[in-house]
């Protein structure tokens, strides 16, 4: 079985202090961090066994917080990138950690979804980190929320990076009709697929790969339909992928989150992103030449 697993453990803290993010206000206790590490250890043991079962997996780490400042996530990414039955391992990250470990990744499988947070890091620091990934031939996208206050930084990020690096812009949806037509055109000059993210898609009763071949796994092993449609569909370690998999129409009225709506077949977004759907890289932005460390 080919499956995508989004993994989110108990981690709920970050080394950044973004005013709009609730997790920047948290500081995980030593006990919580131990729990998160133990949960990931259990998950990794399960993943190792799936090769014998004939499963082919893609794994995306997107915790409530910053994963890569913690050793266990870095080690997991390295190991997963070299497992034969793993097609992809990706992570959502602010890329603030040292990158001396990334040379150990298999660049054919490891990828990064990088979020730039103006006010938390400088543009030059962000560019330096991104260029380290680029020079190693590691696939990554980078972007930020399209707030008006960030337009100049977004454009500077785009103009400073190589053309084959995709810069995405997440639409700010807290205020209806936030953007003028001119502002949409301005952001589309940075991100040609920006308009896709400005919409909330009718999803109730619609087909979605969530719960069928895409699974949203909590640290305890509990699996939810997705992060928005939070119905519990089973337990990974008890039910296994075969026991979890079933056609499950969406129970939400709308879907406006990238990691949700990309799995709606009617949108056919796989034709844009091909095998880099998870890390959000359109096919024509993907590196033509790779540096393999496998």
Q: What is the DSSP string of 135-179?
A: HTT-EEEEEEE--GGGHHHHHHHHHHS-TTSEEEEE---SSTT--
> Residue 60 has what DSSP assignment?
E
pLDDT score of 108: 95
pLDDT score of 15: 67
- 113 part of a folded domain: yes
Closest among 34, 78, 37, 36 to 59, alpha carbons compared: 78
pLDDT score of 65: 87
Q: Give the length of the chain.
A: 294
CA angle 39, 44, 48 (to 5 degrees): 155
The dihedral over CA atoms of 190, 196, 197, 198, expressed in degrees to the nearest 10, equals: 100
- 290 part of a folded domain: no
- 81 part of a folded domain: yes
Domain count, the chain: 1
- 289 part of a folded domain: no
- 286 part of a folded domain: no
- 63 part of a folded domain: yes
pLDDT score of 120: 77
pLDDT score of 117: 87
Residue 87: Cβ-neighbour burial (10 angstroms; 0-12, 13-18, 19+): middle
pLDDT score of 286: 67
- Please give the model's pTM, rounded to 2 decimal places: 0.92
- 293 part of a folded domain: no
CB 211 within 8 A of CB 229: no
**Gap between the Cα atoms of 144 and 12, Å rounded:** 20
- 23 part of a folded domain: yes
pLDDT score of 121: 87
Range of the domain at 34: 2-281
**CATH code for position 213:** 3.20.20
pLDDT in tens, the chain (294 residues): 999 999 999 888 766 666 666 555 667 789 999 999 999 999 999 999 999 999 999 999 999 889 999 999 999 999 999 999 999 999 999 999 999 999 999 999 999 999 998 877 899 999 999 999 999 999 999 999 999 999 999 999 999 999 999 999 999 998 989 999 999 999 999 999 999 999 999 999 999 999 999 999 999 999 999 988 889 999 999 999 999 999 999 999 999 999 999 999 999 999 999 999 999 999 988 654 444 443
């Amino acid at each position: 079985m080919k499956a995508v697993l989004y993994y989110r453990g108990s981690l709920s803290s970050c080394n950044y202090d973004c005013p709009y993010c609730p997790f920047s206000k948290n500081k995980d206790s030593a006990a919580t961090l131990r729990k998160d590490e133990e949960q990931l250890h259990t998950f990794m043991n399960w993943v190792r066994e799936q090769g014998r079962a004939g499963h082919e997996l893609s794994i995306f780490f997107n915790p409530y917080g910053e994963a890569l400042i913690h050793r266990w996530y870095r080690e997991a990414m390295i190991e997963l990138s070299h497992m034969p039955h793993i097609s992809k391992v990706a992570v959502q990250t602010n890329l603030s950690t040292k990158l001396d470990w990334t040379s150990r990744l298999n660049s054919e499988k490891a990828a990064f979804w990088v979020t730039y947070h103006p006010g938390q890091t400088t543009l030059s620091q962000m560019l330096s980190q991104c260029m380290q990934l680029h020079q190693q031939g590691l696939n990554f996208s980078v972007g930020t929320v399209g707030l008006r206050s960030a337009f100049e930084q977004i454009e500077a990020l785009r103009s400073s990076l190589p053309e084959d690096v995709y810069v995405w812009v997440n639409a700010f949806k807290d205020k209806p009709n936030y953007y003028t037509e001119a502002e949409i055109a301005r952001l589309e000059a940075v991100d040609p697929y920006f308009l896709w993210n400005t919409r909330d898609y009718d999803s109730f009763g619609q087909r979605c790969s969530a719960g069928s071949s895409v699974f949203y796994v909590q640290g305890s092993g509990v699996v939810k339909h997705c992060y928005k449609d939070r119905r519990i569909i089973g337990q990974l370690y008890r039910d296994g992928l075969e026991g979890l998999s079933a056609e499950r129409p969406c129970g939400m009225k709308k879907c406006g989150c990238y990691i949700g709506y990309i799995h709606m077949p009617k949108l056919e977004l796989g034709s844009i992103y091909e095998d880099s759907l998870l890390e959000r890289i359109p096919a024509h932005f993907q590196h033509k030449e790779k540096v393999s460390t496998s």
